[in-house]
Structure formats: C-alpha cells, structure tokens
Amino acid sequence: MRALGPGSLSSFLKIILDVVYVCLWVGVCGVGIGILVALLFSFDPTFMGHIHLDSEDGDLTGKGPLLAWVLFCAGAYLGIILAIVQRLRKVFVTLTAGDPFHPDNVTRLRLIGLLLGGLEISRYVFQAASRFLDQDHDGRGFSLTAWFAVLVVLVMSEVFREGARLRREAELTI
C-alpha cells in the first residue's frame, strides 16, 4: 500500500483524523454546556426543578464554581488536543496530495510539538493541584515517553524544513 497520494495510507489516516476532529468538537461543546449548567445551578439551585444533589461530602449545590473550573480545565485540554488534530489534518492533506514537504508543514509540526509539550506541562500542574487538594491522589510522575514524542515531532519539523528547502532549490535548478 502506498504511503502518499490519493487512496493511500495517508488518506485513510486523514479520514480517521476527520472523525476524531468532529468528536473533539462535540466534546468541547458538551463541556461548554456543562460549564453553563454548573454555573447556573450554583447561582440558582432551583432552576433544575426538584432535583436534590447530595454526595458523601455533603450538598453539591455550593460546588458549582469548582465544577465549572474543572470543566473549564477539561475544555482547555480538549481545545489543545483539537488544535493538534487540526494541524495534523492539514499535514495529512498535503501528504494525500503527494506534497509532504509543503513549507507550511514545518510550522504545523513545530506548533504540534509545542502544544504536546504544553499538554504535558499542564498535566504536571493539574497533578500538583490535585495533590494539594486531595492528599490521596496518586498520579504518574515524569513521562519520558511524552517528552520523547515532543522531541521527535520537533526534530521531524526540522527534517520537513530541510526537505522544503531542498525542494525550493530543486525548483530553481534548470
């Protein structure tokens, strides 16, 4: 099976990325609605009728802003993943067109690498906050695999930059 061009593996992966992209948009919209409901419920607990929300820790009606904040963080995380998938979709469009060394792929891959690094840093921040709020939290620590992936994507962006430069030079050659 071919890797580039129409009907290739890259076009199949582009279709998968399109489906993931739509699902992420649905998730971001769902989180946005959840934030709105959490805030509305915290300001007026009667707006949902006669639903009484209790948990082991007590009444949940006063925890709307905290729930909204957690949902906002989840939405931001999904938003970053959405941005990564959007850039990947654009890279795969060029791969499907048979033009892997398109100059825009360099900046797309750099941004993907930086966003992946940002996701990993945000995971550390979230784990630190969770440990601060809940002493029983047991999250994983430093992820060598995640940072290796960040470095691989950044190195690949430089490989694509060099490929784009060589293509420009070849186009200028008579």
Rounded Cα distance between 76 and 123, Å, is: 12
Question: How far is residue 21's CA from residue 118's CA, in Å, rounded to a whole number?
Answer: 19
Residues 1 and 77 in one domain: yes
**Pair (68, 105) in one structural domain:** no
Residues 54 and 7 in one domain: yes
- Residue 58 in domain: yes
What mean pLDDT do residues 129-149 have?
Answer: 77
Number of folded domains that form the chain? 2
Tens-place pLDDT, residues 35-85:
888 888 777 666 555 555 555 555 555 677 778 888 898 999 999 999 999
State which of 28, 52, 81 marks the end of a domain.
Answer: 81
In a domain, 96, yes or no: no
pTM of the predicted model as reported, rounded to 2 decimal places:
0.81
What is the reported pLDDT for 16? 96
| Backbone torsions φ then ψ of 50, nearest 5 degrees | -100, 30
Same domain, 2 and 44: yes
Would you put residue 54 in left (φ > 0), alpha (ψ -120 to 50) or beta?
A: beta
Boundaries of domain holding 14: 1-81
Which is higher by pLDDT, 55 or 19?
19
